[in-house]
Amino acid sequence: MSEKKQIGRRELLKAGAIAGIGALLPIRSAVAALPPSGAPGVKRYAELGRTGIKMSDISFGSASLRSGQEDVVRHAFDRGINYFDSAEM
């Protein structure tokens, strides 16, 4: 019989923290600052890995939008937001 080695809570938390930091480093190094302007909107975009996709630093949560409020989404898109979260919760 083989015995399974159990990982302790502390080791699990350390491994999770290291993995989280490691996952964020490529995104942080790829963040390009746009020149400041007076108009409100997205100031930075982060490139997602080697995909070439640039995601806005501001997201738009749209779970509570009702039909007929498409102009709110259009306004966000016109301001440069391209990360839309449509999850219910």
Q: Looking at the 3D structure of the chain, how many domains does it have?
A: 1
Q: How far apart are CA 47 and CA 56, in angstroms?
A: 9
Examine residue 70 and state whether it is found in any structural domain, yes or no.
yes
Q: How confident is the model at residue 2 (pLDDT cuts 50, 70, 90)?
A: low
Identify which has the larger pLDDT, 11 or 56. Answer: 56
pTM above 0.85, yes or no: no
Examine residue 59 and state whether it is found in any structural domain, yes or no.
yes
Query: What average pLDDT is seen over the chain?
Result: 75
Examine residue 23 and state whether it is found in any structural domain, yes or no.
yes
Q: Where are the alpha helices (DSSP H) in 40-89?
A: 70-78
Pairing of strands 32-33, 59-61: unpaired
pLDDT in tens, 43-74: 889 998 889 999 998 888 877 777 778 888 88
**Host domain of residue 53:** 9-32+41-85
